A and B are shown apart, each in its own frame.
Chain A
C-alpha cells in the first residue's frame, strides 16, 4: 500500500502477518534507513538532505513506531530477517544502499551478513552490534531515558538545540515504548552479538562506518571492530558530533554519505 501524504509517501507492506510502515521521499538511487533503539523519529532534516540526491525510505522497524510488534522476536537478527522481506516487498532489495543508525545499524549489519550480494553499500552510523575491545556500549538501564538520549549528543547544549531542555511527553512516550521493544531483542549480552564479527568477514559490500567523534553511546572501539571485521570498510569520524550524528550534525553526516555513495 502506498499513500501520498502532504510531504512524504507512506508505504506499508505486510511481513509475517505484520504491518511494516515506511516513509519515502526524494529521487535517485535508493537509500533504506533503519532508526535507533529509541524508535522511529519520523522524517528528520537528515533525510531531506539525503533526499536531495536519493530516494530515501525510512522504515519503522517491526515493533517500533507504526510497525506492528513481532511478539515472538528475540534477537535483532529476527528483525533483520523481517526487514529483508519488507525491503523486498518494497522493491528495494537489489538496488539500495542500506543505512542503519545505532541499534538499527546492528540490524543492518545482520541483514548484510545474510544478504551478501544484494546491497549496493552498507552505511553504519554509530552502530551497535559488536563488542568493543575497550569500554562498553552505554546501557539504557542505568539512565533515565531522557538522560540516555542526552548521552547521544556531544553535550547537553547540543541536546537542547534539538529537543529543548526537556523533550515533549509524546517523544518520551516513543522512547519508553521503543526501549521496551529493544529490551525484548537484546539483553544478554547488551547490544552486541558475539557471532557477528565472524559473519561480517564474508560481507564484501562496500561499507562506510560513520562515527561521531564524541560518541558516548557506542564508543569508537565498536567502529574499530567493525572496520577490522569487514573486508571493504572505511571509517569516517564526524568532528564534534556525539552518537546521534544525524541529529547533531545532519549536514556533515549527509555530506559524508552522499560523497561515499558518489565515490562507489
Chain B
C-alpha cells in the first residue's frame, strides 16, 4: 500500500475576514489579490514545506501537491517550484504531483523539462499527474475551453514522447507545434516517471486513464460514487484486455488525528472554515457556476431542434416560472437548515474522519474495506488548521496510524503502484 500526505495549502490570513463566519464573501474568482499579503504567503509556503519534510520523517511514502490558479484555497499555482524544493530537501518520499493542469500550458515542452529536472534532482522520486483543470484554471490562464480535452490529450502524448523518444524530432500537432524537440534534460526514471491521474467523476477521463493503465486517484469523493468510478475503470480495463487491481485505484480523503477527541473535533471543523476549497460541501466559499461550466468545457455537439417562436416560447413560461420561484423560496429555507448539519453529516458519511488514533483507525479501515485502493492520501492541515494542528496530527500518523494502516494494507492485500507495475501487472522491487 502506498500512503501519501496532502494539504491543499490554503492562503490563511486570519485578519482578512476570510476565515470564520465574518460575513465577508469568499467567492471563486471574486476576490482581489490586492488583499494578498506576501509576508503571510512567505510564512505559509515555508510552513507547508516544513510539514512535508516532517511527513516524510513520520513515514509517509508520498508527498502530494496540487495546482490551482487565482484562488486562495490552494497556493500551488506553480507547484513545480515546491516540488523542486522538496526534491532537494527530502530523501525518500515520492513527490506526487496531482496534477499539472495540462491544457493551460501553452508550451508543454517547458513542462517536460521542468518535470525531468525535478525527477533528476530527487533521483527518481517524481510521480507526475495531470488534470484538465476546472473552468477557473482555463479562465486564469485564458485557455480555450472547447479544446480543453483535446489539448489535454495532445499535451500528454507530446510530453511522454519528449521524455521517451530520443530527439530531435518535429511535432506538428493540432494544438502544439515544435520544430525542434530535443530537451537537454531527461527524466531519471526509465522510460519516465509514473503518471497518475487524479479526478472527480469525469467518465471520459476515467476511460482514458484506464486505457493507459494509469492509476486513477479519486479526490475526496463520497464512498458510493468512488466505488462506481473504480468499477467503471475496471470495466474499461477488461475491455482493454487486462484486470485492474488495487494498484490502479487511488483515493484521497480527509483524515485528521489528534491527541484528544475534543482537539480532534476542534481541528476537524477547521476543514470547512476559511478559504478552503469551495467545491467541497460545507465550505464557506461559493463557486460561480458559469466559470466552472465554461462554453464547451463539456462539449455539446448535437444539433438543436428548431425554435420558431423564440420569445413567444419564453413568455409562455412565465406562469411556470412564477410557480417555480415560489417553490424555490421554500426550498431555500430548507437548504439553510441543512447547511447547519454539514460538518456532522460529513463526519457521518466518512467525508471527514477526525479523532484520536483509536477512533480514526477503524474508520480508515472501513474506507479501505469499502473501496480497496492500493494508493491512498490523507488530506490534513487544511482550511483554517494551523501549523500546530498539522504537526500534532502528523506525529500521531507516524506513531500510530501509518503502522496500523500498513498492517491493514497487508491483511486486505492492497498493493500500491510501487509494488505492482500498473502497466504489466508484474511485481516491483519494493523501492
Contact = CB atoms under 8 A, between A and B. Distances in A.
Interface of A: 41-44, 65-66, 68-69, 140-145, 147, 162-168, 170-171, 173-174, 176-177, 179-180, 182-184, 187-188, 247
Contact of A141 (B139, B305, B308): B139
A141 B306 contact: no
B290 A143 contact: yes
B257 to A, nearest CB: 42
A141 B294 contact: yes
Interface residues of B, number: 33
Q: Which 10 interchain pairs have the tightest Cβ spacing?
A: A180-B296, A183-B295, A163-B314, A179-B295, A187-B144, A164-B318, A180-B295, A168-B313, A42-B308, A168-B317
Given A170-B305, A183-B144, A187-B142, A41 B291 contact: no
A164 B139 contact: no
19 contacts: A42-B309, A43-B308, A66-B303, A66-B304, A142-B290, A143-B290, A164-B315, A164-B317, A164-B321, A168-B314, A168-B317, A171-B313, A176-B295, A183-B145, A183-B295, A183-B296, A184-B144, A184-B147, A187-B145
A140 B293 CA distance: 12
A173 B314 CA distance: 12
A188 B146 CA distance: 13
Contact of B310 (A42, A184, A188): A42
A65 B142 contact: no
A166 B307 contact: no
B300 A247 contact: no
B311 interface: yes
Given A167-B317, A177-B304, A183-B146, 15 more contacts: A41-B310, A41-B311, A44-B310, A65-B306, A69-B301, A141-B294, A142-B291, A144-B290, A163-B311, A166-B321, A171-B314, A184-B144, A184-B146, A184-B147, A187-B145
Interface in B326-357: none
A140 B146 CA distance: 14
Interface of B: 139, 142, 144-147, 289-291, 294-296, 299-311, 313-318, 321-322
Contacts of B147: 184
Contacts, number: 93
A207 B303 CA distance: 33
Nearest to B303: A66
A52 to B, nearest CB: 19
Contacts of A66: 303-304, 306
A174 B307 contact: yes
Contacts of B295: 140-141, 176, 179-180, 182-183
B296 A184 contact: yes
Contacts of A140: 295
A180 B145 CA distance: 9
A40 B283 CA distance: 40
B425 to A, nearest CB: 38
Given A163-B311, A170-B305, A180 B146 contact: yes
B146 A44 contact: no
A162 B311 contact: yes
A168 B317 CA distance: 6
